[in-house]
Chain A
C-alpha cells in the first residue's frame, strides 16, 4: 500500500502550521504503511545551501562535524543536529565540496537545496514525527510518505521521500516493473540511483529530465511514457508541487483545493482535518493526467 500526503500552501498565514498539518495527515495514514516514514519540507530561503545528512551513529558522527567541515571548506557552516539527521547550512556553491567530504566519511546525504530539508527513518509516522519535531516545522510546502515496503528492504535509505536533485523530492505509492532497465539508462546519463529501490529510479528519472531543461510538467508527462508499473507520484521542487498517476490508476489519490492550499492524500481521511475542508473542492486526480502547481 503506502500512504502519501502533500500540502502546497498558497497563503503565508498557514506557513507556521505546515509541519503540524502534515504530521496529522501522515499519522492518519499509518495503517497504509507502518514500516517507515519521511517528510520533505520546503522552508525559508536564506541564500545559502542546505544539506540534510543522516547517520546511524549520530553521537559519534556529528561530534566535531562542524569544525572538520569548516576546515575542509575554509568557510563558516552551521550544523543543526536533529536525532539521526543533521541539517547543514553551507555557503552557496560549496555543494560539491561538501558532498565529497560526506562521501569520504561515509555520511549519508539525504538531500540538498536552497530550502528543502528531508527527514526519514524506519518506524511509525507518529514516532518518526516526534523524533524530528516535524510538528514545529514551518514552510511553504511539503510532502510525506508512510511506507509498506515491497521492492526493497526496510531501511532508512529505502524510506521516502527520495531526493536526487537540489530541492527535488518524490514520494511513490506503487511498484515499478522496469526500474532495472531504467536504472541502467539513468546511470549512463550520470543520474545513478544510490539504492536498489524502484522509487529512487523514478526520482532520478525526473531529476534527469529537469536537468535536461524539461519543465516539471513535462518531466511528469515523461513518467507516463518511460516508466512501467503502478504509481501515484507526488513531487516537490523549490517552487512547485506535482501529482501524476499511471493510466491504470489503482493506487488511490484524493486532492483538495481551497484559496489557502492544494492538498494531496492517498485517502480522503488524511485531508479530513485540514482547515476549510468542508467547503474545499475535492476530487480524484484522473489517470495519466499531470497536475502541478508553481508559485
Chain B
C-alpha cells in the first residue's frame, strides 16, 4: 500500500505519480490522505490500480479514468468521473452535479445521492446511484445505462438518444422525447448484472425503464414554424 498525503504532496505530483503507473505495475494499492475537497484528484489514470481517497473531493475527481478503480470514502464535488473511459469509480457519499458526464465506458457507483445533470451526455458509461438523482439527469444521453434506486428529479432523459434509464422510485417529470418503455428479459439481465457489480441492494423487477421515443432524431416538417 502506497500512501500519498495531500497535506504535504502537491496535487500535480500526486497525479503525475499515479499517471506514471504502467499496466504491469506491482504497486496496485494507493491511498490518498487529506483530500479536503481539492480539485482534479486522481485524474487521467491509465493502469489497473486501486486508489482510495480518504475523505471528500472537489471538482472532477477521477476524470478521464481508464482501467483504474477509484474509491472516495466521502462525497464528491461536481463532475466526478467526467469522461471516464473504463474502470470503476465508487463514491461512498453523495456526488454533486454532472456526475459521470460524457463518460464513454466503465462503471460509476454513487452510494448516496447524485444531484442535477447526473450522466449528462453519457456515451457508454454505466452509472448506478443508490439514492436519488437531481433534475436534467441523462440529458442528451447517447448510450450506456443509468440505474437509480431512489427517485429522479425533473426532466429526466431530455433529448435522450439510446441510453437506458432504470429508476426504482418516482420520476418527477420526463424530459422531451423520453418515455417509459417495456422491461423485457434482456433489460432485466442488464440490470441484474449492474446491480450485482455495484453491490446495490435492489431487485431488477422493482425498476421501470425509460428511453428515447426517437421523435427528435429527424427534422419534422410540421415543426418548421417553430424555427
Interface residues of A (CB under 8 A from B): 247-250, 252, 254, 267-273, 282-284, 286-287
Contact = CB atoms under 8 A, between A and B. Distances in A.
Given A252-B78, A268-B77, A284 B58 contact: no
B135 interface: yes
B37 A252 contact: no
A254 B59 CA distance: 12
B97 A252 contact: yes
Interface in B29-47: 36-38
B75 A267 contact: no
B75 A249 contact: no
Nearest to A247: B135
A284 B37 contact: no
Q: Which of A267, A268, A283, A287 has the most CB of B within 10 A?
A: A268
B118 to A, nearest CB: 12
B115 interface: yes
Given A249-B97, A250-B97, A267 B134 contact: no
A32 to B, nearest CB: 11
Interface of B: 36-38, 56-59, 75, 77-78, 93-94, 96-97, 115-116, 134-135
Contacts of B94: 283-284
Q: Which of A247, A252, A273 has the most CB of B within 10 A?
A: A252
B96 A269 contact: no
B37 A267 contact: yes
Given A252-B96, A284-B96, A268 B56 contact: yes
A282 B37 contact: no
B116 A282 contact: no
Sorted nearest first, the 10 A-B pairs with minimum C-beta distance are: A269-B37, A268-B37, A272-B36, A272-B37, A284-B115, A268-B56, A269-B58, A267-B58, A269-B36, A249-B116
Given A268-B75, A287-B116, A287-B135, 15 more contacts: A248-B116, A249-B97, A249-B116, A249-B134, A250-B116, A252-B77, A267-B58, A268-B58, A268-B77, A270-B37, A271-B37, A272-B36, A272-B37, A284-B96, A284-B115
